[in-house]
A and B are shown apart, each in its own frame.
Chain A
Amino acid sequence: MKFVDDSQNLRLRLRIVQVLALILLGILAVRLYMLQIVNGARYAEIAQNQRIRLLPIPAPRGVILDRDLHLLVDSRPIYTILLSREDTKGIDRYSLIKPLSEGLGIDPEILRDRFDQVKSQPAFESILIKEGAAQADIAWVDAHQLELPALRVEQTPQRRYPPNGTLAHVLGYVGEISPEQLKQPEFQKKGYKPGDVIGQEGLEAVYDEYLRGRDGFRKVIVDSRGHIQSEVERVEPQSGQDIVTTIDSDLQQAAEDQLRKSPKGRGVIIAMDPNNGEIFALASAPTFDPNIFSQRITTKAGRAEYQSLLNDPDKPLIDRAIQGKYPPGSTWKPLMATAGLQQGAISIDSSNLVCGGGITIGNKFTRCMGGNHGSPDVHFAIMKSCDGYFYRLGLKMKLEGIQAMVDMFDLNKRTGIDLPHEVISTTPSREFKAKNYPNDPEWKDIDTVYSSFGQGEDVLTPIALLRAHSAIGMGGRMYVPHLLKEVRAIAAVGSDPSRADYRQARPVRTFDRPQPKVLPIPKDQNELVVHAMWSVVNVAGTATGIKMAGFDIAGKTGTAQVVGLGKEGAEHKDHSWFVSYAPAFKPEISCVAMIENAGLGSRFGAPSVRAIYDVYYAKTRGAKEPAGSNVAMRIR
């Protein structure tokens, strides 16, 4: 100290200032040590996470083709608006619902659902805001980059289905995975996340794992506003596998036209190759537009469309071919005849039973709808659809005999068609009666009588009935009906199989159950039944109106009573059946038509089937239908 200062120890005070300064700097150094050395790795990770984004590159879904390789379903690129989850982490996303729903015209409820869903999901995923964004929507996003920097527009594929509801029940549709599905283990196992589009119905659902590709991704660096600065890594997506179906579009079109023209516009037509179970056509009417689900469900209008489908009393969403159950009526009879012969209730040489115009059980007389046929043989009984004959055949076979028949034709099982939600037909049994008729639980002879001509507790799905009749046509070989012809192969993506992002090649695949069930039907007995069914159309039966020169149709009409006998009225008209295969003695195609509330099988069911055969004939024989055709239902 150069100057004199005796006040309050200045030297010490200077020292205090110096020490204080060093202590404070020391505290900063300790804090630095904590941040950089102790927790450095953690902060580095946080810094990394806030600048790295994984943006999925959606994989194109496989297309669906018909058997002639015509395109049925494809995907086209659309614009999708996404909200970055990471960039909206700290803010209340629900506060965005109002501006987003107003600006982009989205139902606020849908946004709320989506925001709810992502709460339980891991980070680094975008939230789907709007699919199929129009130019105006994209412009809106651009104009609001400052307020809503977390919004992003991307190109994604959107599923496009054929117009007019064609093949709707077969193809099904894709849709966003639902919150309920996300909770189910089978979906969790596949690693789905909210906003994922998956097959929800039909072939789209059954073969989803083949159709869906594997998304690629881009690892990008973003700035604090979420703008992409550069791409660190890119993994290309692997497209889904294309699927070739067994559908013949010409036959399908013919079937749908027939149903559209039917009296109530409701019914089913299925055409199948009885030699292997490949389905040529499967039409259920009324139908619906699957594009509602793949394109419009997130709009108010789309939701209204969906709601009206749900509320429609005609239930267009139901696939009547596999979910509808109807009394088979007289189409039941060839099955009964086959089993009766096989079980020995009747024989080829001695098959005559009394018709008597009906039968009296207890004090109740049940008449034969065709009048009194005397005492016909089985050929005549099938050809003329004699109820009285089959009442007595049923009584001879007893319930157990009928049940053995049901078992043989798999009528008490699902056919195994590769479509979801197939239901099991109802077939006669003591348990069923006891359960459903508590006031009259005992199985009685009258129940056996009803069960022997396709009423009572016989309630079948059209697909089960067609399969059984196809087996008769095929001499007992019964195939699983199916729609998959081939899943096409797809090449591997990536060069290094050891890498986690390597996508293996996926091989060709065909339907997994091609083997038939072989029914123990003696050949001579089978020929008798086939001959009788041929006679139905070609000799003097109930369907001679559809006789076709040069193409032997074998078939059986059926008229299923909707309500109790004797009641009439437009709403309660009988369902009109026709089940058949052709050519009769070497079948190439089998076909069933069930026209709801139309009337006699011969008047509606049979001509519809004939229309299918006309198209088939023209396609395979390369000629117009032979002269003398009395059905004028050409499709094109």
Chain B
Amino acid sequence: MVAVLQRHKLRDFDWLLAILAIGIVSFGAWEIHNAQPTEPFWQKQLIGLAVAFVAMLAIAFTDYRRLVEIAPVLYGLGLVLLIVVLIPHVGMKINGQRCWIKLPGAGQFQPSEFVKIPVVLMLAKYFGKHRTGTLTWKEFLIGCVILGLPVGLILLEPDLGQAITYLPLLAIVLFLSSVRMWIVGAVLVGLMAGAPLAYTVGVKTGLLHGYKLERINVILDPENADKRGFGYHTWQSMVTVGEGGVAGARNSEYSQSSLKFLPEPHTDFIFAVTAETTGFVGCLLLLASYALLLTRLITDARRSRDRTGMLVIMAIVGGLIFQIILNVGMALGMLPVIGVPLPLMSAGLSSVLATFIAIGFAISVQLRRFVN
């Protein structure tokens, strides 16, 4: 019986998804090596990949519904971790942010990366019930509370970048839970019209000033920004990307990252390193891989046998899309610099592990699409 089940499971297992994820991480490890050839980051990343793959298999072969059932417990545990990380001496302070917990022997991990998963499960559990009508205000408020608690704790670290990546989880769940289309439209129009309006009003009234204004101005006109001050990261990243040309820069020995012109090359700006080493061709392939990965996930979501499974996958999709756009947009000088890792590419065990666990859920959902 077990053997039969396993064989059937192996046949239905979404190998494409797994191979895409493993491929991107391996490619990422190579780019991490390019970015920091003398540091052991790329080896750690490969070890992380192995651990993450095991975790992904474990999640994939576990029935997601059981995990959704215990979502409140996991959610509660997550909140505890986010509180623990705030305790001095337990949480490690790096660059003024207390967002790491040191584990003796295993390095450090970042709770805010992992807590996304219980949040997704919690949202899926609450919004996964059979729907008949449109979204109610009560549902909306409860969704906000589910999201608001961890986000509030993360903002205390303070880690704005991570906090922002939680927002699309709720947004996509609400969107798929029958928010009226006109509200969606109104919000989108409001955002698009509101941003320039807020900028103009902010500058006029002086509310928007100092480094916040500078960071926005950098994006509006990187060429004329203060290239040694606020514009440094954006400008150097653009130069690095541009230098890559069609198929990568010729002189790899003295790259933007090895000469330390490009900051954080193995984490936040791994995409710029990729652009420098592989050029337009490599970048397009990477973006195509992401497109394929996302499309595959959405397909799996569509095939899900219940709303809960669909919401789990789509919340993960929302989170991935958001992070990819934010990170690459930042590397290309289109968005302000916010410390958001590029999923599967940036060096960091927590990020890789969390993303693989998320993909594990997606596989678990699609494995059980025929199960009654």
Contacts and interface: CB of A to CB of B under 8 A. Distances in A.
A28 interface: yes
A42 B130 CA distance: 57
A89 B226 CA distance: 10
Contacts of B243: 40, 43-44, 46-47
Contact of A222 (B259, B294, B325, B369): B259
A225 B260 contact: yes
Contact of A28 (B172, B228, B242, B325): B325
Contact of A17 (B275, B298, B303): B298
Interface in B317-365: 317-318, 321, 324-325, 328-329, 332-334
A224 B334 contact: no
Interface string B300-326: 011111110010001001100100110
Interface stretch (B3-11, B145-153, B190-198, B280-288): B280-288
Contacts of B241: 32, 35-36, 43
Interface string B83-119: 0000000000000000000000000000000000000
A20 B246 CA distance: 27
B134 A40 contact: no
Contacts of A24: 321, 325
Q: Is the interface of B mostly helix, strand, loop or mixed?
A: helix
A14 B317 CA distance: 11
Contacts of A523: none
B294 A3 contact: no
A36 B279 contact: yes
A5 interface: yes
A29 to B, nearest CB: 6
A185 interface: no
A40 B244 contact: yes
Interface stretch (B12-20, B49-57, B159-167, B173-181): B173-181
Nearest to B245: A40
Contact of B261 (A7, A11, A37, A51): A51
Interface in B256-293: 256, 259-261, 275, 279-280, 283-284, 287, 290-291
A47 B240 contact: yes
B332 A50 contact: no
B32 interface: no
A221 interface: yes
A18 interface: yes
A75 B256 CA distance: 41
Contact of B228 (A33, A37, A90, A225): A90
A23 B196 CA distance: 22
Contact of B303 (A2, A8, A33, A51): A2
Contacts of A230: 254
Interface string A2-28: 111111101101100110111011001
Interface in A514-559: none
Nearest 3 pairs of A and B residues by beta carbon: A43-B242, A90-B228, A8-B178
Interface of B: 130-134, 172, 175-176, 178-181, 226-229, 238-246, 249, 254, 256, 259-261, 275, 279-280, 283-284, 287, 290-291, 294-295, 298, 301-307, 310, 314, 317-318, 321, 324-325, 328-329, 332-334, 369
